[in-house]
Structure 1
């Protein structure tokens, strides 16, 4: 089985016009739904590469109150076929630097975008399998962590073996364990959950810290934070994402 290759993109919008992420996510989900019916990839003016093998699995509005810059959209792409599939198709559009690369229907809508190429590790679900299952969640927990150089795979294995069962006990389902490619200091994990699951885990952590006496505390949550420091060397952050209707990981998949 080939390694799963994915792409995560964070998109910012300036000035702070709240309609811009709505316009972007509506435009993106609509044309990618059309791409699922395509028979061959094509480089087009206005929309760049059109391909069913470059699959928009997740389109999210970043929940700003959890630590994202406002306003932000996050997208998750599945390169079907891995390196020789969707990734090759994305790379081929840069051969010869075709003029179509510099034309977009959403010019001036986005302020900036940052992409992370991701490689799945052992225990990471195939996004295509999750989509085939029809899996979707109310919210998604997005972790970005800076690890010691070379420790990415060790950290992700610890997450798989130790943290995933803990989060599962709070109704969090593992969606992805990813090494950020072309660097050796960053990882990304993604989890699906309900709002109630999110709140229950936060209160259990507060109680373990002695800051909430109305629910039982769970010291395992604090133990994991200490354990994670064996691998971390820089910023670690978790933020929440709300799936946009029409995307594959949204409860409401209508366009």
Structure 2
């Protein structure tokens, strides 16, 4: 089985206008929904590439109170067929740098966008399998971490073997364990979670630190944070994402055809 290749993009909006993320996510989910009927990829004037093999799996509004800049949208894409499939199609639009590459219906809506290509590692579920199952969560835990040069795979192995069972006990399901490609210092992990599970885990962690005497502590939570420092070499952050209706990973966005 070939490696899963994905893409995560973070989009910022300026000036601080809360309607811009709404307009962007509404446009994007409708636009990609139309691609499901395409038989072959095509480059369309004003819209860039259209392809059902470049699949918008997740469109999210960043929960600003968990540490995101306000306002921000995050999208997660599945390159069906890996390097020779959706990734090749995205790269093809740069062959000759066609004028249509620079035309977009959403010019001036976004302030900035930062894309990171992701490679699935051992034990990472296939996004196509998750969406085929019909799984969707009300929130997603989004981890972005800088690791020591060359330590990405070791860190993700530790996450799979040591951290994932802890999170599973607290109602978190792994959506993806990813090495950020074309560099050797970044990883991304994504987990589905309910609000109740999120809150319960925070309290169990507080209790393990002696800061909450009303719930049972889970001392594995702070122990993992200490263990993670064996691999980390810079910023580490976890934030929450709320799925936008119309994306595959949104409970409110799934249709009977999905």
Which bin holds the TM-score, normalised by the shorter protein?
A: over 0.9
Aligned to 2:179: 179
Task: Give the CA RMSD over aligned residues.
Answer: 0.7
1:139 and 2:143 aligned:
no
State the Cα deviation string for residues 100-131 of structure 1 (Å, max 9, x = none): 01100000000000000000000000000001
Alignment: residue pair count:
255
For residues 131 and 217 of structure 1, the distance between their equivalents in structure 2, rounded to whole angstroms, comes to 34
Aligned to 2:85: 85
Aligned to 2:5: 5
Aligned to 1:120: 120
State the Cα deviation string for residues 223-253 of structure 1 (Å, max 9, x = none): 1001000000000000000000010000011
Question: Mapping of 1:57-76 within 5 angstroms?
Answer: 57-76=57-76
Contact 2:79 2:87 in 1 (8 A): yes
For residues 131 and 46 of structure 1, the distance between their equivalents in structure 2, rounded to whole angstroms, comes to 29
Aligned to 2:34: 34
State the Cα deviation string for residues 9-49 of structure 1 (Å, max 9, x = none): 00000001110000000000001011011000001122111
For residues 96 and 111 of structure 1, the distance between their equivalents in structure 2, rounded to whole angstroms, comes to 26
Structure 1 residue 254: deviation in Å? 5.2
Aligned to 1:105: 105
Aligned to 1:196: 196
State the Cα deviation string for residues 74-101 of structure 1 (Å, max 9, x = none): 0000000000000000000000000001
Aligned to 2:54: 54
Aligned to 1:160: 160
For residues 46 and 64 of structure 1, the distance between their equivalents in structure 2, rounded to whole angstroms, comes to 31
For residues 225 and 14 of structure 2, the distance between their equivalents in structure 1, rounded to whole angstroms, comes to 35
For residues 9 and 129 of structure 2, the distance between their equivalents in structure 1, rounded to whole angstroms, comes to 21
For residues 180 and 99 of structure 2, the distance between their equivalents in structure 1, rounded to whole angstroms, comes to 29
Contiguous gaps of at least 5 residues in structure 2: none
SS at match of 2:175: strand
For residues 197 and 189 of structure 2, the distance between their equivalents in structure 1, rounded to whole angstroms, comes to 17
For residues 121 and 132 of structure 2, the distance between their equivalents in structure 1, rounded to whole angstroms, comes to 20
TM-score (norm 1): 0.99
Contiguous gaps of at least 5 residues in structure 1: none
